């Protein structure tokens, strides 16, 4: 199955971001992708953390969800909308949510980011908990490919990547593709992005598809980019450093079965 990680450099305006996302989705569909995944915050990278509160949507209702459903339906794609702000029961915080859509335009899975990023090195300061409410549960969905293969897909977002227990839960549930839409900072991305992605792939003998924000944004923030597809042996199959791009790669079910047969580490778990 051909898959696409869509790398963006999202700005302040919702309409411009959705237009950029649509162009990339069309490119992915034209290239034969069956699944296209957008990055974290694909619909907006505001000047302040609180800006996302103005874009909050109720589940099943709103311009970003309508955009994702229409694009999936019109392009015949499985689409995962990296993240968008969904309303919570707290006026000052939203969920940072990843939604999966089938080619029929139906939302088939929702994951609210569990682990919230906090970082302070004296120059850069981030604390997502100020405006984001953490989710409480993992989420997965099944994707029937055109060749009849059923792929089990585990959802995660950005900072989740540092918590291997979430991905082990996906592996226990049978996931063979792990999604990591992200907006890693340049500092943390340069240090750990590829290392962590390859580790999650190897330890769970699963493909990892990681679309990212990558470049200098209107708000002045610089994100690391390097969207990539990693195979279950830890090999980087495709990658884009910076700038808007469609990162294409192939998932090979036979390769996955062979690796899991040769090294049945998932069967050797004792915890």
Instruction: Kindly list the domain boundaries of the chain, sorted by start residue.
Output: 2-268
Q: What is the pLDDT of residue 49?
A: 83
Q: What is the pLDDT of residue 154?
A: 98
What does the pLDDT read at residue 115?
98
Q: How many CA atoms lie within 13 A of 60 on its CB side?
A: 1
Distance CA 105, CA 67 (A): 10
Give per-10-residue mean pLDDT for the chain (271 aa): 98 97 98 98 91 95 98 98 97 97 98 96 92 98 97 98 98 98 98 98 98 97 98 98 98 97 94 78
Q: Name, in order, each residue with C-beta under 8 angstroms of 231's C-beta and a sequence gap of 6 or more.
A: 201, 207, 237, 252, 255
Give residue 270's pLDDT.
Answer: 87
Q: What is the pLDDT of residue 245?
A: 98
- Out of 34, 40, 57, 242, pick the active-site residue: 40
* Predicted local distance difference test score (pLDDT) of residue 42: 98
- The reported pLDDT for the residue numbered 257 is 97
Q: What was the pLDDT predicted at 5?
A: 99
The 3-class secondary structure across the chain, one letter per residue, is CEEEEEEECCCCCHHHHHHHHHHHHHHHHHCCCCEEECCCCCCCCCCCHHHHHHHCEECCECHHHHHHHHHHHHHCCEEEEEEEEEECCCCCCEEEEEEEECCCCCEEEEEECCCCCEEECCCCEEEHHHCECCCCCCCEEEEECCCCCEEEEEECCHHHHHCHHHHHHHHHCCCCEEECCECCEHHHHHHHHHHHHHHHHHHHCCEEEECEEEEECCCCCEEECCEEEECCCCCEEEEECCCCEEEEEECCHHHHHHHHHHCCHHHHCCC
pLDDT of residue 89: 96
What phi and psi values does residue 66 have, to the nearest 5 degrees? -65, -40
Question: Which one from 43, 57, 133, 158 is the annotated catalytic residue?
Answer: 158
Q: Which residues pair with 179 in a beta bridge?
A: 155, 209
Among 34, 43, 52, 113, which one carries the catalytic annotation?
113
Provide the token pair at 72: 């999936």
Whether 43 is a known active-site residue: answer: no
- Tell me, rounded to whole angstroms, the distance of Cα 184 from its chain centroid: 12
Give Cα separations from 140 to 20, 111, 153 (angstroms). Answer: 27, 8, 5
Architecture of domain 2-268: 4-Layer Sandwich (3.60)
CB 52 within 8 A of CB 44: yes
pLDDT of residue 50: 86
pTM over 0.85: yes
Say what the pLDDT of residue 238 is: 98
Show the tokens assigned to 203: 């330890």
Residues 178, 208: contact at Cβ < 8 Å? yes
107 catalytic? Reply is no
Q: Cβ distance 118 to 129 under 8 Å?
A: yes
């Amino acid at each position: 199955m051909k898959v696409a990680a869509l790398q963006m450099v999202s700005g302040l305006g919702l309409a411009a971001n959705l237009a950029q996302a649509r162009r990339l989705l069309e490119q992915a569909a034209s290239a034969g992708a069956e699944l296209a995944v957008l990055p974290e915050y694909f619909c907006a990278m505001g000047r302040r953390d609180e800006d996302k509160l103005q874009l909050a949507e109720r589940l099943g209702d709103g311009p970003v969800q309508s955009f994702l459903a229409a694009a999936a339906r019109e392009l015949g794609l499985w689409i995962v909308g990296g993240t968008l702000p969904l309303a919570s029961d707290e006026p000052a915080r939203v969920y940072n949510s990843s939604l999966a859509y089938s080619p029929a335009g139906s939302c088939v899975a929702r994951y609210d980011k569990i682990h919230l990023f906090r970082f302070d090195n004296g120059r850069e300061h981030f604390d997502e908990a100020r405006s984001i409410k953490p989710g409480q549960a993992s989420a997965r969905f099944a994707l029937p490919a055109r060749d009849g293969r059923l792929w089990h897909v585990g959802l995660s977002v950005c900072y989740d990547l540092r918590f291997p227990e979430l991905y082990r839960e996906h592996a226990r549930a049978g996931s063979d593709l792990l999604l990591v839409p992200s907006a890693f900072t340049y500092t943390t991305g340069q240090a750990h992005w590829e290392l962590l992605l390859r580790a999650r792939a190897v330890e769970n003998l699963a493909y990892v598809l990681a679309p990212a924000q990558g470049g200098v944004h209107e708000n002045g923030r610089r994100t690391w980019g390097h969207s990539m597809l990693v195979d279950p042996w830890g090999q980087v199959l495709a990658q884009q450093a910076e700038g808007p791009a469609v990162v294409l790669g192939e998932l090979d079910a036979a390769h996955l079965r062979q690796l899991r047969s040769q090294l049945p580490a998932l069967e050797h778990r004792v915890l």
